[in-house]
Amino acid sequence: MKKGNTVFFKNKPCIESFSAVCGSKEKEGIIGQYADIALDDDMYGESTYEKAECKMLTTAILQCIEKRGMTEKDVDVLISGDLLNQIISASFAARDYDIPFLGVYSACSTMSESIMLGAMLVNAGYVKRAVAATGSHFASAERQYRYPLELGCTRPPQSQWTVTGAGSCMIGKSGKIKIVSATMGKVCDFGVTDVNNMGAAMAPAAADSIMQHLKDTGTQSDDYDMILTGDLGALGSRIVKDLCWEKGFDISKVHVDCGEIIYKVVENEFQGGSGAGCSATVLNSYVLTKMQAGLYKRILFAATGALLSTVSSGQGESIPCISHVVEMEL
């Protein structure tokens, strides 16, 4: 059932339902018409950015359950995490549900880690249905990782824009979209220390996990309709394609990066979108909708995470990164 770092799911767990909530800037882009809720006000009626982020996540989880015509009683476990310190959005969202909770942290690759774990638990028969969810908010991320918005700092050209949004999906036993396998990522650190250049830091981790997956499964990039990375942005996307090409894997024809496609004019956000909400919203609105309609038949979802903190950067550390890969097919 395992080869290399890839676990194969014999019982083919399925995506039973999915949902996304996105912010006002994201509404104007590609996911605007696919998200279940597209906000006009990024505060979402709350008094703080953090509470707005938590509300988006809570809503995405609820939508995902309700779209399947179910209630929280039908869900056996909630697997979630987010970018805020001590994953408070996920923990406080979990407080609202009478569902066992597994907290995870994998920075912006939280969506693929949580789907992978959900598929593992469903495939093994431990649970009937798992909900995987994550999200992020531009303003809470800026305040925590960079500067409060009120300071009005300028942003460097290699920076990305943290996506305001949350995505959620239910993993169970019935559905068109099957989760075939998942590759557990290893921590990669190429020595990048520039916290404004996450794409360059994360690209080696994405390349490592994608190539590991192709080796373990004996597939080629052409076997997939899409190899979807999370939030490498424009620069990071170029790097991941180069790194794979150097090792004999040409993913350029099928590679798509959520961060690169999420905004209407990518250049306005410099390198594009980032954050745990980036791949979570793009996957759980645009991509899975198209897949369910039969437009994509087989995809790889390789969200990427930068495992730094303000303290580790302040102490001169480089940025370790990770990418977990999930394979889905109709």
Residues of this chain that bind its own copies (CB under 8 A):
1-2, 5, 7, 48, 50-51, 76-77, 81, 83-88, 91-92, 94-95, 98-107, 113, 117, 120-121, 123-127, 144, 184-187, 189, 307-312, 315, 317, 320, 322
C-alpha of 32 from chain center: 17
Residue 193 vs 268, nearer CB to its own copies = 193
In the complex with its own copies, the residue whose CB is nearer, 47 or 154, is 47
- CB-nearer residue toward its own copies: 88 or 330: 88
User: What's the min distance (Å) between Cβ of 249 and its own copies?
Assistant: 19
Q: Which is nearer to its own copies, 210 or 234 (CB)?
A: 210
- Comparing CB distances to its own copies, the nearer of 87 and 261 is 87
Nearer to its own copies, 100 or 157 (CB): 100
Rounded to a whole number of angstroms, the minimum distance from the CB of residue 228 to its own copies is 20
Per-residue H/E/C for 119-154: HHHHHCCCCCCEEEEEEECHHHHHHHHCCCHHHCCC
Tokens in use for 243? 């790194």
- Rounded to whole angstroms, the Cα distance separating 13 from 76 reads 14
CA 274 – CA 260 distance, rounded (Å): 9
Inter-residue contact 258 to 273 (CB < 8 Å): yes
Contact 71, 131 (CB under 8 A): no
Using CA atoms, how far apart are residues 78 and 92, in angstroms rounded to an integer?
A: 12
Residue 301 contacts residue 181 (beta carbons within 8 Å): no
Q: Are strands 14-22 and 177-183 parallel, antiparallel or unpaired?
A: antiparallel
| Shortest Cβ 122–its own copies spacing (Å) | 11
Q: What are phi and psi of 83, to 5 degrees?
A: -85, -20
For the CB of residue 95, give the shortest distance to its own copies in the complex, in Å.
4
**CB closer to its own copies out of 6 and 19:** 6
Give min distance, CB of 144 to its own copies, in A. 8
State in angstroms the smallest separation of the CB of 107 from its own copies.
7
Contact 55, 44 (CB under 8 A): yes
Kindly state the smallest distance separating residue 155's Cβ from its own copies, in Å.
21
Query: Residue length, the chain?
Result: 330
CB nearer to its own copies: pick between 33 and 86 = 86
CA distances, 42 to each of 21, 77, 80, 178, 290 (Å): 11, 28, 21, 33, 26
Tokens of 307: 């495992």
CB of 51 to its own copies, least distance (A): 7
